[in-house]
Amino acid sequence: MKQNPLLKLLAVIIVIVGVFAAFIAPLAGSIRQGLDLQGGTHVVLEGVDTEQAQVNDDAMNRVVKIMEKRVNELGLTEPIIQREGERRIIIELPGVKDPDKAIAVLGKTAMLEFKDEEGNTVLSGTDLKDAREQTTQNNQNEVAIEFTDEGAQKFADLTSANVGRTIAILLDGEVLTAPRVNEPITGGKAVITGSRNLEEAHNLAVLLRSGALPVKVDIIETRTVGPTLGQDSKDKSVFAFTVGVGAIFVFMLLFYRVSGLIANLSLMAYVIILLFVLKLLDATLTLPGVAGIILSIGMAVDANVLIFEHFKEEVKAGKTLRMAMDSGFKRAFTTIFDSNLTTIIAAAVLFFFGTGPIRGFAITLGLGVVISMFTAITLTQFMLKHLIAARLFTDPRIYGVSLGHKIKDGDMK
């Protein structure tokens, strides 16, 4: 029975160290990174009122859905598409190699029209069922389109009524092609020619498949972060994190000794839990988010410092190690709780009223504070309690306490 506290303590330490060593690198590398760490393109779109369509909440939600389709069709990985305010949409494309082409596709309204020689619009993009790029045997790049049942009938009527005449196919008011109708087309399929290369045909097919935007949008901001700059920011963040955490480890060991070692183990558990939660939430880590993590680490250490200082005061007052530990945690709890609660409230305000980078900072800070309360109040207390119960170290100086008199014999009881 005497070995139970020691065995429990060793089991917890082995789990913490083992999990930290095995998962810290994979977890950190698997979390989605923002543009400032990875490089990429940041685009801000704004809905604009026109005579044809007014901006409203439903229209902007539909724009978001269409943008998601376009980005996915372009094959861009891990994009971020979110609304900001009533009229704006933020699109972040990490790692995009050709930002100009991506922006050109995203900014198009993609209103497809089929007009006769009198300028009457007979069909539109809503009559399309599918659109795919293809290359003919003559190496001509084109887009093969397929109509819905209703659209197929409209197209058959259009071509039947215009044999020997031309029909114009327009995208956003610009003529893509104007073929001459030789005979009625009743199969519900057609092709759009005129693409200079297969990529241009692919982009046109993407626009047609995703559908036309319900309102006009303007590109009001574009910002590109090069991969070299992103990697440099990442390297500096990793360096700052490593140096900061290393300095904290050394500080805690020098000032609090065995208690500091316990705090460092709790800090390792804190880092792993925080990274796991961020991965679980599919959060995007940015430079402000890294700053939030580092700040929350400081608050986690601050909680342990408060606990250990109260613990030292109780030991100096003549209490046994076990009683001093219990009293130290009880005295520190209110201060830690109040301090962390105000920080959580501040993080919540930043999250709900802030924008992209600020919200990233708020998420990591808020999560970090909540997790740090768990590790400081629960995990640190558990390990310190079992360390004292195991009676491996009975000299209070091992716990960072400097005494002018000996501790009572009751510390063994």
Using one digit for the tens of pLDDT, what is the confidence trace for 175-190? 888 888 888 988 899 8
What pLDDT, in 10s, does the model give residues 7-54?
Answer: 889 999 999 999 999 999 899 888 888 777 777 888 899 999 888 788
Number of structural domains found in the chain: 2
Q: Give 294's contacts (C-beta < 8 A, 6+ positions apart).
A: 240, 241, 244
Give the domain-ending residue among 158, 193, 225: 225
Q: How confident is the model at residue 78 (pLDDT cuts 50, 70, 90)?
A: low
- The structure tokens 């796991």 sit at 276
Is pLDDT above 70 for 169? Answer: yes
Residues 10 and 145 in one domain: no
Residue 95 has pLDDT above 80, yes or no: no
335 and 232 in a common domain: yes
pLDDT higher than threshold 80 for residue 231: no
pLDDT: which is higher, 171 or 96: 171
SS3 119: coil
**Residues, the chain:** 413
In eight-state DSSP terms, residue 215 is: S
Which CATH number goes with the domain that contains 146? 3.30.1360.200
Q: Could you tell me the residue range of the domain that residue 197 belongs to?
A: 40-225
Single residue among 169, 197, 225 that ends a domain in this structure: 225
Q: Are residues 31 and 67 in the same domain?
A: no
Task: Report which of 306, 296, 276, 274 is spatially closest to residue 346, judged by C-alpha positions.
Answer: 296
Q: Could you report the per-residue pLDDT of 197-207, keeping only the tens digit for each?
A: 888 888 888 88
The vertex-245 CA angle with 242 and 248, nearest 5°, equals: 145
Residues 237 and 168 in one domain: no
pTM listed for this prediction:
0.68
Residues 407 and 389 reside in one and the same domain: yes
Strand, helix or coil for residue 220: strand
- Assess whether 86 and 205 both reside in one domain: yes
Residues 254 and 394 grouped into a single domain: yes
Q: Does 230 or 81 have the greater pLDDT score? A: 81
> pLDDT-based confidence at 412, cuts 50/70/90?
very low
φ/ψ region of 260 (left if φ > 0, alpha if ψ in -120 to 50, else beta) reads alpha
Q: Give the end of a domain, one of 204, 225, 246.
A: 225
Best CA proximity match to 394, nearest among 287, 315, 280: 315
Statement to judge: residues 269 and 196 lie in one domain: no
pLDDT value at 413 more than 50: no
State whether 150 and 262 are in the same domain. no
Q: How confident is the model at residue 284, as a pLDDT?
A: 80
In a shared domain, residues 164 and 73: yes
> Kind and range of the H or E element at 116?
none
**325 and 213 together in one domain:** no
Stretch 352-358: mean pLDDT = 78
